[in-house]
Structure 1
Amino acid sequence: MDLRDLKYFEVIATEGNLGRAAERLHRTQPALTKCIDRLEEAIGTRLFAKDGRGMRLTAAGHILLRRTRQLTIMVDESAREIQDYAAGLQGEVRLGCVPTVAQYLMPAVFEQLLAEAPEVSVKLAVATNDSLLASLRDAEIDLVIGPMIDTGPDFECEQIAEDTVVVMAREDHPIFGSPCTLADLLEYKWMLPAATVATRQWLDQTFERNGLARPHVQIESNVLTLTLQILEKTPLLGFVTRYNLVGGRANVREVAVPETHMKRRLGLTYRRNGYLSPVATRVADILRERGKDLLSV
């Protein structure tokens, strides 16, 4: 199979229409039809079936599309690796961080990195862990720094630090008027991340394991950097890391309910067979060397 045919096939499969694919690739429709014919002859089965005015992938087509995308990533990374190692400690690194890590760890990491390699450029994505792992799987970022979860065989994970996620509320919240139990927490409404986020899942399961309902979520948001500001202005409860109390934030306090203390491992995650540039490797080394110290409460 010709690599160019595979690249054309990926566009055709994505568009689901020969005309749109031809416009995007600046090729004629007959040329793309011949491309499909060559691939189907090489594989020995059909890749597309008619679907109204468009076309849809067969089961074999879906397999080839997945493999083509993997091959495209491998080819692109091979070119990056050769260029990066020829250039030395320079170029671009694409990092993904959860908000806690971005706020409390990355400034010191960037201080050291830029002192060692002042010509590097960084693309930093700050998002929830599930979103970052999806970007990592698609090779849109090189390295994720955040909570360690069971990511399956596609990823490697290394622990660099640990934190504790706890319930918090504004300082004058009525919940602080008397000792609080797990059941008492359900008397109030909450601000929590989406149900796909690991901390939210852990909290929901904690209530369920104790025979209780899940928290009533009034505000659901993945913009976690807003959580403390909203807790300060509302009677909502939140579930955030203790690192948010670093620096003596006066307007929020931890709600002392031991059952809701979630120990969380923070680490590096990268694709098992993916390419890490010299810059990405250096960032990983800095995090391995200094992670625990930089994230000490």
Structure 2
Amino acid sequence: MRLEDLDVFRAVHETGNFQRAALRCGLSQSAVTKVVRKLEDEFGVQLMERGGRSLALTPAGRTLYQRAMELSELTAATRRDMAGEMAALRGAIRLGVVPALLGSVAAPVLADRLPGPHAVQLLVSVKHSAELVRMLEEGKLDLAVCFGVQHLPPDVLRTRVGPQRYRLVVRAGHPFAASIPSLEQLSKSRWLLPTSDVTLRTEVERMFADAGFGALDVRVETDTSATLLIPLLRRSDLITVLPEQAFQPLASEGLAALDVDLHALTGEVTVYHRRKTPSVGLLMALKHRLEAQARSNALTGPHGRHSAKESM
């Protein structure tokens, strides 16, 4: 029995016939048939009922299918672990970070590590939180510094390191820039928000839903950081939500933060890593340094002390 044979067996069951399984596996139909017969001969049991227009698994076939699924997941996890070990062996650490935390958390820590005695190569990916956690789950990253996500994969651990404040941001000449808009006025405005799988989007919509308002008019939806769409924000009346760290460098560049209480949107800066991290002390040292930097920012940065008190 080979793992490839189990993949073919799974394909026959999941596609419903030998022909579609052959297309999926890149084999001839006769080769797929031979694989299934080989498995049946090896175990001495019939795995599939071959009658009618569709194939059905026998009780033994269902058992083998379940084991094949488990082995497939174990194989994928093993490949992810080995990819991490290979990167560690090369002296590389694969770090993911959201744009808002690149300058305030990641950059100071990485700059301190570069002159050190250890020849460490840093591979940095800058994406939004949900994508970074997915990459971590797939073994493409060792660490991720970002914000909270809706779904935490079972193989990923998180350490919450500090509160996160958000601001509603518009162009400097926006009608709301010189006033204090109500939630009702905001609910009727046009928005630039992340895609629906991003936690921040969910929290924004929940804030308005809890206040009794309907769905927001999201005119622009993005799967990357809203900071990359700042030129569009400056030329329109769109409203977006930015982390405090992302807004501060932009405050003098034609943007304004609305005077609105966003206590309901206070989130957390979080460091994520996989349960089975590569066997290298440098990785954990970097993790602890990133956590310390994020905690320091939460206490000493803009509105830091106020945020920490509110989140208690």
Q: Tell me the TM-score range normalised by the shorter chain.
A: 0.7 to 0.9
Pick closer, same or farther for the CA change 1:237–1:275 going to 2, 3 Å.
same
AA paired with 1:171? Answer: A
Q: Which residue of 1 aligns with 2:18?
A: none
Partner of 1:109: 109
- C-alpha contact 1:160 1:288 (8 A) present in aligned 2: yes
Distance 2:4 2:224 in 1: 36
Change (3 A) 1:11 1:270: farther
- Output the amino acid matched with 1:119: A
Question: Does the Cα contact within 8 Å between 2:98 and 2:129 map onto a contact in 1?
Answer: yes
- What per-residue deviation string (whole Å, max 9, x for no partner) do you get for residues 127-168 of structure 1? 222222223223232222211346264432112233211211
The answer for the alignment partner of 1:231 in structure 2 is: 233
Which residue of structure 2 lines up, in the alignment, with residue 185 of structure 1?
Answer: 186
Whole-Å separation in 2 of the counterparts to 1:47 and 1:129: 44
Deviation at 1:201, TM superposition (A): 0.5
Structure 1 residues 281 and 186: CA distance shift in structure 2, 3 A: same
Note the C-alpha offset of 1:241: 0.8
Residue 133 of structure 1 corresponds to which residue in structure 2?
A: 133
Whole-angstrom distance in 1 between the partners of 2:11 and 2:125: 25
1:142 aligns with 2:142: yes
Q: In the superposition, relative to structure 1, how do residues 122 and 267 fare at CA in structure 2: closer, same or farther (>3 Å)?
A: same
Residue matched to 2:283: 280
**Counterpart residue type for residue 235 of structure 2:** K
Determine the C-alpha separation between the residues in 1 that align with 2:49 and 2:186: 54
Gaps spanning 5+ residues in structure 2: where?
16-20, 303-312
- 1:72 deviation in Å? 2.0
CA distance in 2, matches of 1:162, 1:181: 25
Partner Cα distance (2:122, 2:50) in 1: 43
Which residue of structure 2 lines up, in the alignment, with residue 216 of structure 1? Answer: 217
Instruction: Give the TM-score of the pair, scaled to structure 2.
Output: 0.74
Give secondary structure in 1 for the equivalent of 2:113: helix
Change (3 A) 1:185 1:81: closer
Higher relative contact order (CA 8 A, sep 6+): 1
Number of residue pairs the alignment of both structures matches: 284
Q: CA 1:70/1:234 → structure 2, altered by over 3 Å: closer, same or farther? A: same
- For residues 134 and 65 of structure 2, the distance between their equivalents in structure 1, rounded to whole angstroms, comes to 19
Deviation (angstroms), 1:215: 1.9
Q: Distance in 1 between matches of 2:73 and 2:204?
A: 36
Contiguous gaps of at least 5 residues in structure 1: none
Deviation string, structure 1 residues 78-124 (Cα, Å, up to 9, x no partner): 65677778x5xx52222222221234322222212322366333333
Q: Aligned residue for 1:122?
A: 122
1:270 equivalent among 266, 270, 273: 273
The percentage of counterpart residues that share the same residue type is 16
Superposition map of 1:128-207 within 5 A: 128-149=128-149, 151=152, 153-207=154-208
